[in-house]
């Protein structure tokens, strides 16, 4: 039986990461994420898996973001009984994120009268019962395949996954980067450099672009706060509940405590982000050393208010501007941010601050691209607020960083696969690697199979 890798998600698409590795008679998945942001994503998430879930021996999860983890309970629902393996923080984050995603799906189901759910609480509990956590570089064996995880520097607990096996007298290697971080990060150490591999599967979210902020991100955040204060407007920040929100809170903490911004209320309007922040505190020993040694509570400062209850969220409307509202989701495709955007996008005094990647087709991407009329909850909203972007908060490596990562691997590298990027980004990075490094580089299509 030949050794292969198959691409069932993340192929010329940013989301839906799902890769099947077959080595020595063992079938191992890397990630099993939801498709998000595209016009047919909901349907794709409900489609049957194109492999038998019961035949899979193990699943490695690189990190907890829903586009990498979101279909794991459904995999269990459809018969998977192997082992799920991740770092300890990833397991804890995934439990919270998967339960939140389940509740969102339930709400959308009642709204659309969809007859079946993607997964249920029972499926999630079964998945958690199959979960095993391991630390970076702990040795793992599945049959004759040796596996280890290394720090990807993307979010707390995020991992690259490396496979090693014998083929005759030769040692073969395959590495998956998952999502590679964009150092320096507030909480996470820089990504580790892979020393050697024959095959590499690397993310390409920014494979065709560079991060272009010319000023430090904290200064740009400071200016946005100062501007809404002067205008008596609202700073609306759609933020991913995990990592992005915590980074924003940390930097707001520094700005407030060092009196660099005027005093104004800051609302953290996301029950999910509040739960995730609690997990961050649990794994404080995995922060950068400088934060680990600090005694200050990095998520608490004068003026900050958490609003987990719905009634508290609604009460934000009664607080006069200027004010800051941080809420999910990060691409404005669900969550409480939509209520605030419906209210304040038409306000010329307000600022919508984009701090994360926006998938093509998402509301966040359309606003970033300058769309002047959008529909939210059936209402047509005229966009009159200022829309700004800070790219420095991105947790994804840009084209230069991705290229340097590949160039830093000991030669020869037989083939590199670009995934988890829009088609143009994946193809751009592949062309760059072929031209400058002379390595065979591919941007796989959905369901493509390659020998390894």
**DSSP secondary structure, 162-181, as one string:** EEEEEETTEEEEEEE--SPP
Q: Identify the pLDDT of residue 111.
A: 55
Above 90 in pLDDT, residue 333?
no
Q: Are residues 316 and 447 in the same domain?
A: no
Q: Tell me the backbone φ, ψ of residue 342, rounded to 5 degrees.
A: -60, -35
H or E stretch covering 352 = strand 351-354
Taking 60 as the threshold, does the pLDDT of residue 128 lie above it? yes
| Structure confidence by residue, pLDDT tens digits, 348-392 | 999 999 998 888 888 999 999 999 999 999 999 999 999 999 988
**185 and 45 within one domain:** yes
Do 24 and 156 lie in one domain? The reply is: yes
**Residues 254, 367: one domain?**
yes
Residue 260 has pLDDT above 60, yes or no: yes
Q: Note whether 379 and 163 are within 8 A (CB).
A: no
Lowest mean pLDDT among 206-215, 236-245, 249-258, 403-412: 206-215
> Domain boundary residue among 378, 393, 408?
393
CB atoms within 10 A of CB 38: 17
Could you tell me if 412 and 363 lie in one domain?
Answer: no
| Spatial CB neighbours of 149, under 8 Å, sequence gap ≥ 6 | 60, 87, 134, 136, 137, 138, 140, 159, 160, 161, 162
pLDDT of residue 295: 56
Residue 192 DSSP class: P
Q: Say if residue 222 is in the same domain as residue 362.
A: yes
Reported as type and span, the H/E element at residue 146 is strand 145-151
Q: Name, in order, each residue with C-beta under 8 angstroms of 115's C-beta and a sequence gap of 6 or more.
A: none
Which whole number is the average pLDDT over 194-213?
Answer: 94
DSSP H or E segment with residue 389:
strand 386-389
Asked if residue 342 and residue 402 are part of one domain, the reply reads no
pLDDT per residue over 65-79, tens digit each?
999 999 999 999 999
Token pair for 343: 């209210």
One domain, residues 337 and 428: no
What does the pLDDT average to over 92-112? 83
Q: Which domain holds residue 232?
A: 217-393
Q: What is the CATH number of the domain that holds 405?
A: 3.60.15.10
**What pLDDT shows up at residue 233?**
97
Q: How far apart are CA 128 and CA 289, in angstroms?
A: 30
The average pLDDT across 226-232 equals 97
Total number of domains in the chain:
2
- Asked if 251 contacts 309 with a C-beta cutoff of 8 angstroms, the reply is no
Judged against a pLDDT cut of 60, whether residue 40 lies above it is answered with yes
Question: Does residue 255 register a pLDDT over 90?
Answer: yes
Residue 52 and residue 95 in one domain: yes
Q: Return d(Cα 93, Cα 195) in angstroms, integer.
A: 29
Same structural domain, 244 and 201: no
pLDDT at 91 over 60: yes
CATH of the domain at 288: 3.40.50.10890
What sign for the dihedral angle of Cα 173, 178, 181, 185?
Answer: negative
User: Where a domain ends, among 347, 378, 393?
Assistant: 393
Q: Are residues 318 and 181 in the same domain?
A: no
């Amino acid at each position: 039986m030949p050794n292969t890798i198959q691409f069932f998600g993340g192929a010329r698409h940013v989301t839906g990461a799902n890769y099947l590795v077959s080595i020595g008679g063992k079938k191992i998945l890397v990630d099993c994420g939801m498709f998000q942001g595209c016009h047919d994503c909901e349907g794709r998430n409900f489609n049957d898996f194109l492999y038998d879930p019961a035949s899979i021996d193990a699943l490695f999860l690189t990190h907890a973001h829903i586009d990498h983890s979101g279909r794991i309970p459904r995999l269990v629902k459809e018969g998977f009984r192997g082992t799920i393996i991740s770092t300890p923080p990833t397991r804890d984050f995934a439990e919270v994120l998967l339960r939140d995603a389940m509740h969102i799906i339930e709400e959308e189901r009642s709204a659309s009268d969809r007859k079946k759910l993607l997964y249920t609480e029972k499926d999630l509990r079964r998945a958690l019962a199959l979960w095993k956590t391991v630390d970076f570089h702990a040795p793992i064996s599945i049959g004759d395949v040796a596996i280890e995880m290394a720090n990807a520097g993307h979010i707390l607990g995020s991992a690259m996954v490396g496979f090693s096996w014998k083929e005759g007298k030769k040692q073969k290697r395959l590495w998956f980067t998952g999502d590679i971080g964009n150092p320096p990060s507030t909480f996470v150490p820089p990504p580790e450099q892979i020393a050697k591999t024959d095959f590499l599967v690397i993310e390409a979210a920014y494979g065709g672009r560079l991060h272009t902020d010319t000023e430090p991100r904290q200064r740009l955040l400071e200016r946005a706060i100062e501007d809404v204060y002067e205008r008596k407007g609202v700073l609306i920040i759609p933020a991913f509940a995990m990592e992005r929100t915590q980074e924003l809170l940390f930097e707001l903490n520094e700005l407030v405590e060092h009196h660099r911004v005027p005093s104004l209320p800051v609302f953290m309007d996301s029950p999910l982000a509040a739960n995730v922040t609690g997990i961050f505190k649990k794994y404080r020993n995995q922060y950068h050393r400088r934060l680990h040694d600090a005694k200050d509570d990095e998520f608490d400062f004068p003026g900050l208010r958490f609003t987990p209850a719905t009634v508290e969220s609604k009460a934000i409307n009664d607080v006069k501007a200027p004010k800051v509202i941080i809420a999910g989701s990060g691409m404005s495709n669900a969550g409480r941010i939509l209520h605030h955007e419906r209210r304040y996008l038409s306000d010329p005094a307000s600022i919508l601050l984009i701090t994360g990647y926006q998938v093509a087709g998402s509301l966040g991407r359309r606003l970033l691209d300058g769309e002047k009329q959008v529909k939210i909850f059936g209402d047509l909203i005229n966009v009159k607020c200022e829309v700004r972007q800070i790219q420095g908060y991105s947790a994804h490596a840009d084209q230069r960083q991705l290229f340097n990562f590949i160039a830093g691997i000991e030669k020869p590298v037989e083939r590199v696969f670009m995934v988890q990027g829009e088609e143009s980004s994946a193809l751009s990075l592949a062309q760059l690697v072929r031209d400058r490094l002379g390595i065979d580089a591919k941007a796989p299509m959905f369901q493509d199979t390659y020998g390894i």
